[in-house]
Chain A
Amino acid sequence: MDAGMIWEWIIKSIFLILFMTGGFAYVTLLERRVLARMQVRIGPNRVGKFGLLQPIADAVKLIFKEELIPAGADKLMFIVAPVITVIPALIITGVIPWGTSINLFGREIALSIANVNVGVLYIMAVTSISVYGITLAGWSSNNKYAMFGGLRSTAQMISYELALGLSLVGPILLAGSMNVMDIVQAQKTLPFALLQPAGFIVYFMATLAEINRAPFDMPEAEQELTAGYHTEYSSMKFALFFMAEYIKMIAVAMIGSTMFLGGFQGPFVDQLPWLGPVYLFGKVIVWLFVDIWIRATLPRIRYDKLMALGWKVMYPIALLNVFITGILVVLTTKR
Chain B
Amino acid sequence: MLSNWLYIGIFMVVSLFLPAAAIFIAGLLAPKKPNAIKNATYECGMETVGDSWIQFKAQYYVFALVFLVFDIETVFLFPWAVAYNQMTLFGVLEAIVFILILLGALIYAWRKGALEWH
Question: What residues of chain A have their CB less than 8 Å away from a CB belonging to chain B?
Answer: 1, 5-6, 9-10, 13-14, 16-17, 21, 62-73, 79, 82-83, 86-87, 90-91, 94-95, 113-117, 120-122, 124, 139, 141-147, 151, 154-155, 158-159, 161-162, 165-166, 169, 172-173, 176-178, 226, 231-232, 235-237, 239-240, 303-304, 307-308, 311-312, 315-316, 319-320, 322-323, 326-327, 329-330, 333, 335
**Known contacts A114-B8, A329-B84; is-contact A307 B30 (Cβ 8 Å):** no
**Known contacts A172-B78, A178-B78, A308-B115; is-contact A86 B18 (Cβ 8 Å):** yes
Contact B71 A116 (CB under 8 A): no
Q: Bound complex: CA of A333 vs CA of B42, how far in Å?
A: 61
Choose from B8, B75, B117 the contact partner of A308 (Cβ within 8 Å).
B117
Contact B96 A323 (CB under 8 A): yes
Contact A17 B30 (CB under 8 A): no
Q: Chain A residues with Cβ under 8 A from B108's Cβ?
A: none
Interface residues on B, range: 35 or more
0/1 string, B79-106, CB within 8 A of A gives 1: 0011011000100100110011011001
Q: Apart from A13-B10, A120-B78, what are 17 other A-B pairs with CB-CB below 8 Å?
A: A1-B3, A13-B14, A64-B30, A66-B31, A70-B39, A70-B40, A71-B40, A73-B41, A87-B19, A142-B41, A151-B56, A162-B71, A166-B74, A172-B78, A172-B82, A176-B85, A327-B96
- Measured between C-beta atoms, what is the minimum distance from B65 to chain A in Å? 10
Contact A176 B39 (CB under 8 A): no
B interface: dominant SS: helix
Q: Bound complex: CA of A312 vs CA of B115, how far in Å?
A: 8
Choose from A70, A94, A166, A304 the contact partner of B41 (Cβ within 8 Å).
A70
Contact A236 B78 (CB under 8 A): no
Q: Which of B24-72 contact A (CB under 8 A)?
A: 25-27, 29-34, 36, 38-44, 48, 51-53, 56-57, 60, 63-64, 66-67, 70-71
Contact A83 B8 (CB under 8 A): no
Contact B20 A83 (CB under 8 A): yes
Q: Chain A residues with Cβ under 8 A from B20's Cβ?
A: 83
- Which 6 pairs across A and B sit closest by C-beta, in order of nearness? A236-B26, A304-B117, A172-B81, A13-B14, A114-B4, A90-B15
**Known contacts A114-B11, A176-B82, A177-B82; is-contact A143 B115 (Cβ 8 Å):** no
Contact B106 A232 (CB under 8 A): no
Contact B15 A143 (CB under 8 A): no
Q: Bound complex: CA of A145 vs CA of B52, how far in Å?
A: 9
Contact A240 B19 (CB under 8 A): yes
Q: Bound complex: CA of A231 vs CA of B56, how far in Å?
A: 19
Choose from B14, B33, B81, B85 the contact partner of A333 (Cβ within 8 Å).
B85
- Measured between C-beta atoms, what is the minimum distance from B50 to chain A in Å? 9
Question: What residues of chain B have their CB less than 8 Å away from a CB belonging to chain A?
Answer: 1, 3-5, 7-8, 10-12, 14-16, 18-20, 22-23, 25-27, 29-34, 36, 38-44, 48, 51-53, 56-57, 60, 63-64, 66-67, 70-71, 74-75, 77-78, 81-82, 84-85, 89, 92, 95-96, 99-100, 102-103, 106, 110, 115, 117
Contact A66 B30 (CB under 8 A): yes
Contact A319 B26 (CB under 8 A): no
Q: Bound complex: CA of A9 vs CA of B33, how far in Å?
A: 42
Q: Chain B residues with Cβ under 8 A from A141's Cβ?
A: 41, 52
Q: Chain B residues with Cβ under 8 A from A63's Cβ?
A: 25-26, 29-30
- List 28 A-B residue pairs with CB atoms under 8 Å apart, sorted by A's residue number: A13-B11, A21-B18, A63-B25, A64-B29, A64-B31, A68-B39, A69-B39, A72-B41, A79-B23, A83-B20, A94-B8, A114-B7, A116-B8, A122-B8, A141-B52, A155-B63, A158-B67, A166-B77, A236-B23, A311-B66, A311-B110, A312-B110, A315-B106, A320-B103, A323-B100, A326-B92, A326-B96, A335-B85
Contact B27 A330 (CB under 8 A): no
Q: Output the residue of A6, A90, A329 with the most chain B CB within 10 A.
A: A90
Q: Chain B residues with Cβ under 8 A from A14's Cβ?
A: 14
